[in-house]
Structure 1
Amino acid sequence: MPGLRTIAVTVAVNGGARMEDESRSGWSHLLEHLVFKGAGDMGARDIVERVEAEGGSINAATGYERTSFDVRALKGSLPLAMQVLSDLVFRPTLAPDEIEREKDVVAQEIAEAFDTPDDHVFEMAQTQAFAGHGLGRPILGSIASLAPADRAAVSDWRARLYSPDRMVVAVSGAVEEGELLALAESWFGQAAATPSAGSSPAAFAGGEARLARKIEQANLVFQLPSLGARDPRLPVLRLFTEILGGGMASRLFQSAREDRGLAYAIDAYHETYDDLGVLGVYAGAAAERSRELADLCAAEILDLAEKGPTDQELARAKAVLNAGLWMADESPASRSGRLAGQTLVFGAPVSSEDSAARIDAQTAADLREVGRDLAASGRSATAVLGPRAAGGAGRAFRERMAGR
């Protein structure tokens, strides 16, 4: 990216919590923590001090299908960034005492997530959507599932998860291609592939979860089965989601908040996995009006699916999505992360121009077709966390979607 004085480096692994069986639930996230406790010739403090000494920052994240490590730094820091990230994924120390200590840290993270209603309600919905599958278990795991993790077991899991044939290195910003390729060969090119952790096909199960807690607001999540990451109709789903609940001009924001005062926060979202996905709605509402809000959410989905968007709605959604593409192009971190993810999914990067063209090509008829598929599945996953008076919101949503 000409004119920049910084770089963004992403090492992304095609692996995460989805690959775990129940006995290893949370191990991918635990491993991501542990590699920062020591790698190569570096201790935990050395890792961050070396990066920050050159004005950089380092972070990582574990998802269901991807684990990523990121460095942001000044121009000229690429050799250091590549060395540090290579050591993290291939040469972590995994000291036994650090493993036990980090289990306690993750236990606090699990407790924090439970104590945060608008986090925990998503875990509840995910469990209902994909019951019995890796996608249906919390990324953090549980205290019980983390307990057996020792150095030998975690080292074996690292080798299976962080195999180089499942890995992409992406760099954006003030970088020269020749230097990058030489460093990639030096730090990543010698690693041998290992038998990799696999994952079984997922299916959307659906169901209803309720948890009564003495808090002021009901937290609601409603999910429908949707498209996977490779589905060519994904741009249509993105437009559908934006029109439904993507911003202040969206249908849900206008009808639920502006017209009826049912919610302060409400939005629609979609999550895509390798073979399927979900369309979801999250809202926070007064308990006594939660069923009314659930009914309204279902009604808006059904109306958009049946009638399609107006010309104005479709034009707005296309403008918002395209603006997001171009804005992300101006951020080195967004570019490196996006290109790594695209290469893992599609085998090669996808240009923003191609993505924008696909968005612009979609019609109202395309949205109706995808919307009717969403509405016709007959399955949903709902989660309600809050006062007991909100307990019927999930059923209200499911019944309205089923036409009852």
Structure 2
Amino acid sequence: MPGLETLALSVVAGRGARSEDEERSGWSHLLEHMVFKGAGARSARDIVEVIEAQGGQINAATGYERTSFQVRALKGGLDLGSAVIADLVQRPTMDAGDLAREIQVVGQEIAEAADTPDDHVFEMAQTAAFAGQPLGRPILGTDESIARADPQRLSQWRAALYAPGSLVIAASGAVDEAELLALAERDFGAASGQGALVPAAGDFVGGSRTLAKPLEQANLVFLLPAVGVRDPSYFALRIFAEILGGGMASRLFQEAREKRGLAYAVDAYSETYADAGVLGVFAGCAAKDAAELAKVAAGEIKGMAAGVNAAELSRAKAQLKASMFMAREQPLARAEQAAAQVLLFDRTLPPAELAEQIDAVTSAQIEALGAAMLAPGRAAASVLGPKGAMKAADAFQQALFG
């Protein structure tokens, strides 16, 4: 990216929590924590200090399908960033004492998520949507599952999760391609290990999860089965979510907030994996309004399956393209996007190609996607908040399917 004085480096493994069995639930996230406790010749403190001493930042993230290690640095920081991440991925110390302490730390993270209503309600919905599958288990795992980890078995899991066959190295910003290739050979050329198993296809089961808590507000999430990122209808799904609840001009915002005053926060989104996905609606509202809001959400989804107009279709396309192009102006977002594309499609996708696919979506495709999402007669609903809001889960299902 010409003119920048900074760079971003991402080393991304194309495996994550979705590759875990129930016994090892949460181990991918725990492993991501543990590699920072010491790797190569560096202690936990050395790992962060050596990066920060040159003005850089280091971070990592675990998802269902990917685990990412990231360095942001000033120009010239690629060499050090690559060396440090290579140690994290290939040569972590895995000390038993560190592991015992980190299990406690992750336990606090699990507790924090459970105490955060607008986090926990999404986890509840995910559990309902994909019950009995890795996609239906929390990325953080449970206190019981992470307590099963020991240094030897976690090291074996590292070798599988970060195996070279699923690693992508991506850099953006003030970087030189020849330097990156040389560093990749130097730091990752001898990487070894067999990859973790490719997970089974996701199956949207559906159902309801409710939890009554003495909160001021009810938190609601509603999900419908949708398509994966490789599906030809992927951009139709993204546009569907944008028209439904992607901004202040969206149908949900206008109907639920502006016209009826049922909620301050209400939006729609799509969450996609390689082979599966969901259309989601989130809202926070007073308990007395929860059931009515659920009916409004269901009604707007059914309404979109009946048709969208040219103006809202055009607006959604413009919003989606703007979001895509704005993300590409940030080095880390661009590097992460490139790595994800290579893992999913074995190549990077030019922005012009993506924009062309967005522009090609028709109102008929939106309607067909809506019908396809409703056809199985399955939805997932989660409600967390005052007892009076619990009816919202059944109200959503009833309004959609009768």
TM-score interval, normalised by the smaller of the two chains: over 0.9
1:362 maps to amino acid: V
Q: Which residue of 2 aligns with 1:401?
A: 400
* Paired residues of 2:162 and 2:195 also in contact (CA < 8 A): no
Report the residue type matching 2:380 in the other structure.
Answer: A
The answer to whether 1:286 aligns with 2:286 is yes
Q: Deviations over 1:288-325 (max 9, x none)?
A: 11000000000000001112x21110111111111112
User: Contact conserved, 2:17 with 2:64, CA < 8 A, in 1?
Assistant: yes
Partner of 1:84: 84
Q: Does structure 1 residue 36 correspond to structure 2 residue 42?
A: no
2: CA distance, partners of 1:174 / 1:195: 32
Bigger shift: 211-220 or 196-205?
196-205
Residue 377 of structure 1, CA deviation? 2.0
TM-score, normalised relative to structure 1: 0.98
Structure 1 residue 195: Cα displacement: 4.4
Aligned to 1:54: 54
* CA distance in 1 between partners of 2:355 and 2:172 (Å): 20
Is 1:122 aligned to residue 99 of structure 2? no
Task: Give CA deviations for 1:203-229 in whole Å, capped at 9, x if unaligned.
Answer: 111001110000010000000000011
Q: Please give the residue correspondences for 1:1-400 in structure 2 after superposition, counting only pairs within 5 Å.
A: 1-307=1-307, 309-400=308-399
1:28-47 deviations in Å (ceiling 9; x for gaps)? 00000000010111101101
Q: Whole-Å Cα distance in 2 between the matches of residues 14 and 325 of structure 1? A: 22
Name the SS of the counterpart of 1:104 in structure 2.
helix
> Tell me, what secondary structure is at the counterpart of 1:92?
coil
Matched residue of 1:330: which SS? Answer: coil
CA distance, structure 2, for counterparts of residue 198 and residue 252 of structure 1? 37
- Alpha-carbon distance in structure 1 between the residues aligned to 2:342 and 2:400: 36
Q: Is the 8 A contact 2:291 2:389 kept in 1?
A: yes
Percent of pairs with identical residues: 57
> What is the TM-score with the length of structure 2 in the denominator?
0.99
Q: Within 2, Cα distance between the matches of 1:101 and 1:254?
A: 49
Q: Any idea what SS the aligned residue of 1:156 has?
A: helix
Instruction: Work out the CA distance in 2 between the residues paired with 1:310 and 1:383.
Output: 31
Deviation at residue 196 of structure 1 after TM alignment: 2.3
- Alpha-carbon contact 2:130-2:205 (below 8 Å) kept: yes
For 1:243 and 1:163, the matched residues in 2 are separated by 40
1:263 aligned partner, one-letter code? A
Q: Which one-letter code corresponds to 2:338 in the other structure?
A: L
Alpha-carbon distance, 1:261 to partner: 0.6
CA distance in 1, matches of 2:201, 2:324: 31
Task: Please give the alpha-carbon distance, in whole angstroms, between the structure 2 residues aligned to 1:23 and 1:153.
Answer: 12
Task: Measure the CA separation in 2 of the matches of 1:26 and 1:193.
Answer: 21
Task: Write the distance in 2 (CA, Å) between the matches of 1:376 and 1:267.
Answer: 23
Unmatched runs of 5 consecutive residues or more in structure 2: none
Counterpart amino acid of 1:17?
Answer: A
How far apart, in 2, do the equivalents of 1:246 and 1:195 lie? 37
Q: Could you report, residue by residue, the CA deviation over 1:306-360 in whole angstroms, capped at 9, with x for unpaired residues? A: 12x2111011111111111211121111100100011111111111111111101
- Alignment size in residue pairs: 402
Q: Give the Cα separation in 2 of the matches to 1:160 and 1:353.
A: 36
Supply the distance in 2 between the matched residues of 1:250 and 1:288 (Cα, whole angstroms): 24
Distance (Å, rounded) in 1 between the aligned partners of 2:133 and 2:377: 20
Secondary structure (helix, strand or coil) at the match of 1:394 reads: helix
Q: SS of the counterpart of 1:170? A: strand
The separation in 1 between residues aligned to 2:198 and 2:321, in whole angstroms, is 35
**Equivalent-residue separation in structure 1 for 2:376 and 2:309 (angstroms):** 24
Distance (Å, rounded) in 2 between the aligned partners of 1:372 and 1:180: 47
Shift of 1:189: 1.5
**Structure 1 residues 348-400: Cα deviation after superposition (integer angstroms, max 9, x where no partner):** 11111111111011111111111111122200010000111011101111111
Kindly provide the amino acid, as one letter, of the partner of residue 174 in structure 2.
Answer: A
Question: Which letter maps to 1:185?
Answer: E
Name the aligned partner's letter for residue 5 of structure 1: E
Which deviates more from structure 2 when the two are superposed, residues 208-217 or residues 192-201?
192-201
Q: Distance in 2 between matches of 1:197 and 1:369?
A: 34
C-alpha separation in 2, matches of 1:192 and 1:28: 18
Instruction: Give CA-to-partner distance per residue, 1:158-192, whole Å, 9 cap, x none.
Output: 01111010110000011111111000011111112
Whichever residue aligns with residue 325 of structure 2, its letter is W
Closer/same/farther in 2, CA of residues 343 and 195 from structure 1, 3 Å limit: closer
- Helix, strand or coil at the partner of 1:69: strand
Secondary structure of the corresponding residue to residue 306 of structure 2: helix
Q: What is the letter of the counterpart of residue 199 of structure 1? A: P
